[in-house]
Chains A and B, each alone.
Chain A
Amino acid sequence: MSAPQPQHRIELAVHEGEGDLMLVNFGPQHPSTHGVFRIKLLLDGEIVVKAVPYPGFLHRGVEKLAERLTFTQLGPIVDKNDYIAPMTNEQAIFMAFEKLLGIEVPRRARWMRTLFAELQRVASHLLWLGTFALDLGGALGGGATVFLYCFRERELVLDLFEEVTGARFHYNTHTMGGNRHDLPAGYAQKVHATLDVIAARLVEYEHLTSTNRIFDVRTRGVGTISSELALGLGLTGPVLRASGVDHDLRRDAPYGAYDEVPVNVMTETSGDCLARALVRIREMTESIRLARALIDGMPEGPICGAKAIKTPTQFKAASGQVYVGIETPRGELGTYVIAGGNERGAAPYRLKIRPPSYHAMSVLPYVLPGHMVSDVVAILGSLDPIMGEVDR
């Protein structure tokens, strides 16, 4: 058994002047690439024959920057990687650092982090639904209707975060051993009120999208990813679950408060764009249920470890290599840290961030051939890529 090979190995130059094949550049500046991403498409009429993706237009060198910053300084930096879900970025990197340094996180901080992660999942999937509807364009009243609706609800979640952290995003609220900001008084009522509004409107969106005939036609059977390919490519999150793999780190390798608040994992079997859309829409409902359970059962206590690390000399003791992966809205966000050996002390020797979107984008050469140009946009949107995370 060998791994399936993508179809981009043949140089595009071979096909120049061959029949009616046409080379089309998709991106790097294109509203449907969700950022700056370039795909060379070789077309036969309107059918894609080959697709060669070119990431890297937003490569900002975060991993190099990490070599000269201390562990605690990296929190606000990684916020900018997956800028749709900064909460889970911070959680991922600090979980790795805490494991490296053997720091215990208080129970209340773990619950708060999990609450923020679930609210973030709702906000992230709302943004995905809005932009995905824009990608599908004319199918949904210009798409802008769903987009405007989803942003309206996303603002409500951002308001919840702003009340705790003071920022709409790029929160910088996680820190080594716990959280920086405690929940304000009366926060539970506000969370419930916000989730009531969103839960009611989610029903509307489901009618607007998944029961919409045009939505169905444009997504059903488009961009099918087999479970074997998804596993081999390292696809994670909703993309993997839509391909029929029942895998979710929140349930399978629990962290935070997920061992106390069980998660129902949403799966689909068909692996097409519709399946990915359905998985995300259902995950929003599930996240709302989890967020309610988390805010209701929020334990009392300190929000940061008693022995907080304050001086760089304490980091100097750190050495070893750890990998920690958590389930962000887009899948497994991993952090591999190599500590020790950096004479500048409190900085990681090597930090590697394993972004779920990077793997999701690597599926494009496998699935795009054979589809229409308009399907390229639908497939790209259904993968929910964030370029800040793909390129870092």
Chain B
Amino acid sequence: MAVDETARNYTHPLYDTLLAAPGLNVLAGSVDQLLTWGLKNSLWIFPMATSCCGIEFMAASASRVDLDRMGTIPRATPRQADVMVVAGTITVKMAPRVKKLWDQMPEPKWCVAMGSCAISGDFYRDLYPTVPGIDTVIPVDVYIPGCPPNPEAVMAGMLRLQEKIALVRQGLFPPHGSSKEDRPETAKMANPAVRRLLDPARDAAITAHQVTLAGTPSPDTVDSPPLPVDASTAGSADRDLEALLRDRFGVTEFPKDAPPLVDAAFHVELARTLRDRGFRQYVTCVASHWPGDPETFEVATVLRSTGSGSQLAAWRVRVAAGEPVDSLCGVFAGADWQEREQFDLVGLRFAGHPDLRRVMMPEDYVGHPLRRDFASDAPCAPWR
């Protein structure tokens, strides 16, 4: 369709009859002006707020800036909204949902990309989970730059959208909503600037290069100067912990700059012992991947005692690649999600975990991004 025909994106059979009737086109023109005025001054916003920009969008519609005075009102449902404001980072897991919500909005509709993540992906652009700009998914009418944009910038962006709506209805500006080929905004969809979305075959060479850059260190070569001992953790409980590890778990080395390394067979028993000794709060577990010869995985676990004079207890276990680590789910309920996350991102299996599913990445994602041999700009599966 040519641009001049699609300029009116409000269509009705009666509308064409009016235009065709002699003398009535003056009236039709007035009606058209009225409709334009109504359209651009009653923009109901569907906030597709995912992250930080969503908070600034809330601030824009709250007391001080008061976006509502321009006839906008946030609607939490796409079915009653005219404008989708994409505020925040869109990930490959979220992108299909955004597309679905966009498709649920009735025509005429517009999209505002708010903030640098929605515009281009910002510094997450080359990372495995992030969509490099929402305009690779849906057509965008107005871009509001900033990280995040001030509420004043949001208001300026909405005013620009009103101008655009008026121009489009006068036929002076191409609309986005006609056909895919006519949309300059979505030209990127056919020819994306970001290679990884289109070229999954490119990874081998770049991955190899990235691995070279990242290096393949071995934990045994790490040699370091001693660090000053933190006064807050150098209490008597620390010495008790050392004695416990030495007597019951056969630990001989206590490095000053890292938690002691414990035999993986004692992992659960140690956790249970420490819990009974007052370290009742589960803090975190950190799996790390150490490629090289031999390839190993390390899991550091941190527990805490509560109340006055709170102490940390931390230890590491090391397993060969392919070996699982015993799950602490039976001791601490909090290990559940933490171990799922480490499984998802690092690729270490936890034996005895009741529910070892992916938690961050989509269920059908292949690979474990926090492994050292995973290139930091490795291609990801494009959103579907």
Contact = CB atoms under 8 A, between A and B. Distances in A.
A319 B97 contact: no
Contacts of B324: none
Contact of B215 (A6, A83, A170, A344): A344
A231 B281 contact: yes
Interface string B37-74: 00000000000111110111011001110000000000
Interface residues of A, number: 89
Given A29-B48, A233-B333, A358-B337, A67 B214 contact: yes
A365 B237 CA distance: 34
Interface residues of B, number: 92
A232 B332 contact: yes
A68 B127 CA distance: 11
A349 B334 contact: no
B286 A350 contact: yes
A9 to B, nearest CB: 6
Nearest to A392: B360
Given A344-B213, A354-B284, A56 B230 contact: no
Interface in B158-186: none
A5 B281 CA distance: 16
Contacts of A67: 214, 376
Contacts of A102: 227-228
A5 B352 CA distance: 14
Interface in A125-143: 127, 130
A205 interface: no
A63 B370 contact: yes
Contacts of A233: 282, 332-334
Contacts of A234: 281-284, 332, 334, 338
Interface in B262-309: 280-284, 286, 288, 290, 300, 302, 304, 306-309
Given A155-B63, A232-B334, A320-B224, A251 B52 contact: no
B306 A59 contact: no
Contacts of B330: 2-3
Interface string B72-83: 000010000000
Interface stretch (B87-95, B105-113, B196-204): B87-95
Given A65-B376, A246-B307, A57 B50 contact: yes
B364 interface: no
Interface string A146-182: 0111011011000000000000111000000000000
Given A232-B334, A234-B284, A56 B93 contact: yes
Interface string B110-130: 000000000000011001111
Contacts of B280: 231-232
B210 to A, nearest CB: 9
A3 B333 contact: yes
A340 interface: yes
A99 B213 contact: no
A201 interface: no
A285 interface: no
Interface in A26-74: 28-31, 35-36, 55-61, 63-65, 67-68
Interface stretch (A296-304, A305-313, A330-338): A330-338
A342 B217 contact: yes
B338 to A, nearest CB: 8
Given A3-B330, A6-B333, A344-B215, A252 B310 contact: yes
Interface string A218-256: 000000000001011111100000000111010111110
A61 B101 CA distance: 24
Contact of B302 (A247, A334, A343): A334
User: In terms of DSSP, what is the predominant structure of the interface of chain B?
Assistant: loop
B148 interface: yes
A352 interface: yes
A349 B49 CA distance: 32
Contact of B76 (A31, A80, A254): A31
Given A59-B93, A233-B282, A3 B310 contact: no
Contacts of A354: 283-284, 302
A266 B300 CA distance: 32
Given A56-B359, A352-B286, A83 B345 contact: no
Contacts of A36: 50, 94, 97
A319 B222 contact: yes
A326 B268 CA distance: 27
A186 interface: no
A67 B58 CA distance: 33
Interface in A362-392: 362, 366, 387-388, 391
Contacts of A246: 306-307
B129 A59 contact: yes
Given A8-B355, A252-B308, A388-B51, A60 B302 contact: no
Which 10 pairs between the two chains have the least Cβ-Cβ distance?
A: A343-B215, A320-B257, A151-B62, A234-B334, A341-B217, A319-B224, A83-B52, A252-B310, A354-B284, A61-B127
12 contacts: A56-B362, A59-B361, A64-B369, A65-B124, A127-B55, A130-B62, A151-B59, A231-B281, A343-B215, A344-B213, A349-B217, A352-B286
Interface of A: 2-6, 8-9, 28-31, 35-36, 55-61, 63-65, 67-68, 77, 80, 83-84, 99-100, 102, 127, 130, 147-149, 151-152, 154-155, 168-170, 229, 231-236, 245-247, 249, 251-255, 317-323, 325, 332, 334, 336, 338, 340-344, 349-350, 352, 354, 358-359, 361-362, 366, 387-388, 391
